[in-house]
Amino acid sequence: MDNSQTFEIFLVCAPGLEAVLCEEAQEKGFADAVAVPGGVTVQGGWPEVWRANLELRGAARVLVRLGSFMAFHLAQLDKRSRKFAWGDVLRTDVPVKVQVTSKASKIYHAGAATQRIVTALTESHGIAVSPDAAMVLKVRIHDNQVTISIDTSGEALHKRGHKEAVGKAPMRENLAAMFLRQCGYDGLEPVVDPMCGSGTFLIEAAEIAAGLQPGRSRSYAFEQLASFDQAAFDAMRRTGPVDLTPRFFGSDRDAGAIRMSTANAARAGVGDAITFACHGAGEVTPPDGPPGLVIVNPPYGGRIGNKKLLYPLYGTLGRTLLERFKGWRVGLITSEPPLAKATGLPWKPLGPPVAHGGMKIWLWQTPPLR
């Protein structure tokens, strides 16, 4: 499989964010981006796979559809798996893990199907298979069609590679980036987070403003594939010092969170652009200059504890923003509509829920406050 060949690339995202990720993929120049349940499909070759991992802020993983064939029984699966061109992509010195799902097919036993594919890989192609391998081969059998994909990301893409410390209930970086996009953040306006935790929203916003690639600091599974071209990928990856106007402001009542977010921002290379302070949400004040975006991920849900204790917190936050942040837009993430309403803020109609950590969360947005 050479680097000029094109195939379907599947960009995985949290359910509820497909349209937002599709918009980002289109902006980044990925061909034929189409939102589908659970993600976005685009067309491209290996350079597009590398670039998707490196540059897309909203993707959770990047899967490559290597090919497909029909199989109506296990013997057919065995024969066609042996003929599949695994060696074009997989290396014999890099073990793989095989994951098979089967639905609405005559081959209904995923375990038996897995065994046939493992045998084809090891006996016909000399490729090692291990249940602990970092390289994951995904085989989906649906309506008797066998579709073979490889997870080219390795670790999930929200792990940018420069954040060591996270808080009690962290916002994933890819979700934060998509919520910023939904709020209309343009990279130019100031951003305030009055409950900043580990600093995720502010670090993402500063990186967007600086034009930094989200995946610049990490490694990927695709670097261990036969199709990988190190020189071509190195030419894509941009690193270097960042010159940013300090227009990002975070605060938290937890001094440990402020130490954590300060260190995380420094590792990401945007520490000089973000001002952190230790105080409660009721003490937050707008910075000098034009209005911008307040974005906040307050405590909510079973992950925190007694929900009744949160109503005063949300009420205080809402009053503070209404009194002090005239002209600013607000974005707030919570799983609890009554808590959002307790702020008294003038919310716009809700968009679709987003799956996160086993619960449904919503982005609540206001127009500029009056």
Which domains does the chain carry? 7-151 (3.30.2130.30), 173-211+238-365 (3.40.50.150)
Which tokens sit at 194?
């009055």
Spatial strand order in the sheet of 354-356? 274-278, 248-252, 191-193, 293-296, 329-334, 359-365, 354-356
Q: Is 240 left (phi over 0), alpha (psi -120 to 50) or beta?
A: left
Give the type of residue at 103: K
Which whole number is the average pLDDT over 182-189?
96
For 123, the 3-state DSSP assignment is helix
Name beta bridge partners: 270: none
Residue 1 has pLDDT above 60, yes or no: no
Which whole number is the average pLDDT over 283-311?
87
Residue 112 has pLDDT above 70, yes or no: yes
304: pLDDT confidence band, cut at 50, 70 and 90? low
d(CA 120, CA 132): 19
Query: What kind and span of H or E run contains 290?
Result: none
d(CA 198, CA 306): 22
Residue 206 has pLDDT above 90, yes or no: yes
Residue 2 has pLDDT above 60, yes or no: no
300: pLDDT confidence band, cut at 50, 70 and 90? confident
Q: How many residues does the chain have?
A: 370
Buried b (16+ CB within 10 A) or exposed e, 273-296: bbbbeeebbeebebeeeebbbbbb
316: pLDDT confidence band, cut at 50, 70 and 90? very high
Please state, for a pLDDT cut of 90, what percent of the chain lies above it.
88
Count CB atoms within 10 A of the CB of residue 188.
11
Q: What pLDDT shows up at residue 219?
A: 96
Q: What pLDDT shows up at residue 358?
A: 86
**Of the listed ranges 53-57, 200-204, 305-309, the one predicted with least confidence:** 305-309
Residue 287 has pLDDT above 90, yes or no: yes
165: pLDDT confidence band, cut at 50, 70 and 90? low
d(CA 164, CA 198): 10
Residue of 102 and 241 predicted with greater confidence: 102
d(CA 116, CA 120): 6
Residue 278 has pLDDT above 70, yes or no: yes
Spatial strand order in the sheet of 135-142? 31-36, 39-44, 7-12, 61-70, 145-151, 135-142, 96-103
Q: What pLDDT shows up at residue 242?
A: 74
Count CB atoms within 10 A of the CB of residue 302.
10
Which whole number is the average pLDDT over 10-39?
97
144: pLDDT confidence band, cut at 50, 70 and 90? very high
The residue with tokens 């490196």 is 54
d(CA 56, CA 44): 15
Which whole number is the average pLDDT over 117-144?
96
Q: What pLDDT shows up at residue 302?
A: 59
Residue 243 has pLDDT above 90, yes or no: no
The average confidence (pLDDT) of the chain is 94
Q: What pLDDT shows up at residue 154?
A: 96
Q: What pLDDT shows up at residue 163?
A: 75
Q: What pLDDT shows up at residue 3?
A: 55
Whole-angstrom distance between the N-terminal and C-terminal Cα of the chain?
A: 58
Residue 301 has pLDDT above 90, yes or no: no
9: pLDDT confidence band, cut at 50, 70 and 90? very high
Which tokens sit at 161?
């590679």
pTM: 0.94
